[in-house]
Amino acid sequence: MLQGPTGWAIAAGELTKNSCTTNKKAQSNLNILDMLKLMTLLMDFEVT
Whether 12 maps to a domain, the answer reads no
Domains of the chain: total: 1
Is residue 46 assigned to a domain? Answer: yes
Q: Is residue 14 part of a domain?
A: no
Integer Cα distance of 30 and 48 in angstroms: 27
At 3 the pLDDT is 60
Structural domain range at position 47: 19-48
pTM: 0.34
Model pLDDT, residue 16: 67
Residue 30 has pLDDT above 80, yes or no: no
Specify if 34 maps to a domain.
Answer: yes
- Over 70: is that where the pLDDT of 23 sits? no
Distance CA 11, CA 19 (A): 12
